[in-house]
A and B are shown apart, each in its own frame.
Chain A
Amino acid sequence: QVQLVESGGGVVQPGRSLRLSCEASGFNFNRYAMHWVRQAPGKGLEWVAVIWYDGSNKYYGDSVKGRFTISRDNSKNTVYLQMTSLRAEDTAQYYCARVGTSGGDLDHWGQGTPVTVSS
């Protein structure tokens, strides 16, 4: 079955960097675009970034553009989110999700990894 397992979250000081990983299994990873979505405590879902199945295209939400970088290693079935210049408002649960068959929905989600930005 499809599994997405995030890791790399933790507590980090403002201005520092962190890299999240999402390891996929149970499907042909190199055929699917992958997203990162986050959720601040007590808040709604916020889209962060997407990367095409082959890494050829990447798009970002306005609040992270220029600070976060999405990448993937299809040989390791893993998608990454490199986060730099972290701010308090980046504190959230970070989920990776697979694009669904419609091309627009997110049909499988990981359990998430928490990121706390605090001094």
Chain B
Amino acid sequence: QSVLTQPPSVSGAPGQRVTISCTGSSSNLEAGSDVHWYQQIPGRAPKLLIYSNDNRASGVPARFSGSKSVSSASLAITGLQAEDEADYYCQSYDSGLNGLVVFGGGTKLTVL
């Protein structure tokens, strides 16, 4: 059971838009902690996509965007491409008993 909750899977056709949600609690997102997003292609190391809720990391295409409300965050991918098929993780800091750094359980994106 991950501290941050993500849907296990999402899918979309090439060219479509998909969103991945990340829900937190009073000790992390609701407390104002920033959310960061990572992409992991199977067999490879995670790669930073979005930092501090809505900032794209260096070299990340503008098709990727992030947003955050009080208790949840979202990663949006527009103009879906086959190469976007990967696992996506959200991450934040936690001030409670869950450990300093917490991850979501990950979402598998399938490009149909």
Name A46's closest neighbour in chain B (CB-CB).
B103
Q: Is the CB of B45 within 8 A of A106?
A: no
Residue B74 CB within 8 A of the other chain: no
Q: Is the CB of A50 within 8 A of B100?
A: yes
Residue B24 CB within 8 A of the other chain: no
Kindly list chain B residues whose C-beta atoms are within 8 Å of the C-beta of A47.
99-103
- List A residues 57-84 near B (Cβ within 8 Å): 59-62
- List B residues 35-62 near A (Cβ within 8 Å): 36, 38, 40, 44-48, 51-52, 55, 57
Residue A119 CB within 8 A of the other chain: no
Kindly list chain A residues whose C-beta atoms are within 8 Å of the C-beta of B99.
47, 59-62
Q: Is the CB of A105 within 8 A of B51?
A: yes
A-B contact count (CB 8 A): 76
For residue B62, give the distance in angstroms from its CB to the closest CB of chain A. 19
Contact (A106, B100) CB under 8 Å given A44-B106, A45-B89: no
Q: Which of A7-15, A19-27, A107-115 lines the interface with chain B?
A: A107-115
Kindly list chain B residues whose C-beta atoms are within 8 Å of the C-beta of A50.
100-101
Q: How far is the CA of A97 from the CA of B106 in the complex (A)?
A: 18
Q: How far is the CA of A104 from the CA of B73 in the complex (A)?
A: 15
Name B87's closest neighbour in chain A (CB-CB).
A44
Q: Is the CB of A105 within 8 A of B91?
A: yes
For residue B86, give the distance in angstroms from its CB to the closest CB of chain A. 13
Q: Is the CB of A104 within 8 A of B52?
A: yes
Q: Is the CB of B47 within 8 A of A109?
A: yes
Chain A residues within 8 Å of B, Cβ to Cβ: 35, 37, 44-47, 50, 59-62, 95, 97, 100-102, 104-112
Given contacts A104-B34, A106-B38, A106-B91, 11 further A-B contacts (CB under 8 A): A44-B2, A45-B40, A47-B100, A59-B99, A100-B57, A104-B36, A104-B52, A105-B48, A106-B46, A106-B48, A107-B51
